Amino acid sequence: MNLEIRNEDKGDINAIEKVTIEAFLNAPHTDHTEQYIVRDLRNSGALSISLVAESQGQIVGHVAISPVTISDGVKGWFGLGPISVSPNVQRSGVGTKLMLSALETLKGSGASGCVLLGDPAYYSRFGFKPESSIVYPDVPPEYFQAIQFSALLPNGIVTYHEAFNAKA
């Protein structure tokens, strides 16, 4: 598959929403608000990184990265997600390319690290792992994972942007 990973532009917004809806349509452990989260992050100016995967002129994937707050006050940490891949191209490397590009972009921006909520079997291959000093309440700790880019590992409770409470 000929795939280009690039920053989103204004003309991609509807396609990103469509890919996000399709990607999470039959996913377990979701309340199907991912497209609203991306919309609200964008509208509030908190969408720090927004990359699309494009194949043959079609958007087939998207990843969002936004700042998180950690109760110890450390700065420079971000949350990755949602990440969406069209069902018809899942398991073809699109998600992997989006992840690698997003992490490279984030690290290159001087970020201290990144957290996410997801399957440890999948995300561990990118360097994410549970860190007992970084907590996201009310989820099994093995599913809340971090990757650090700097020497300082935070110690506190993580809060995502208010857009993660988005509804229709």
- The tens digit of pLDDT for each residue in 113-163 reads 999 999 999 999 999 999 999 999 999 999 999 999 987 899 999 999 999
Model confidence pLDDT, tens digit, residues 32-50: 899 999 999 999 999 999 9
153 is written with which tokens?
A: 């590992």
Residue 168 has pLDDT above 70, yes or no: no
Contact 74, 110 (CB under 8 A): no
Going from the C-alpha of 168 to that of each of 24, 54, 55, 163, 164, the distances in angstroms are 15, 26, 29, 11, 12
- With a pLDDT cut of 70, the percent of the chain lying above it is 99
**How much is the mean pLDDT over the chain?**
94
Fold of 4-113+152-165: Aminopeptidase (3.40.630)
Q: Is the pLDDT of residue 28 over 80?
A: no
Q: What is the pLDDT of residues 52-102, one digit of tens each?
A: 999 999 999 999 999 999 999 999 999 999 999 999 988 889 999 999 999
> Is the link from the previous residue into 28 a cis peptide, with omega within 30 of 0?
no
- Residue ranges of domains in the chain: 4-113+152-165
pLDDT for 150 = 87
CA 8, CA 21: separation in Å to the nearest integer? 17
Q: Phi and psi dihedrals of 86, rounded to 5? A: -55, 135
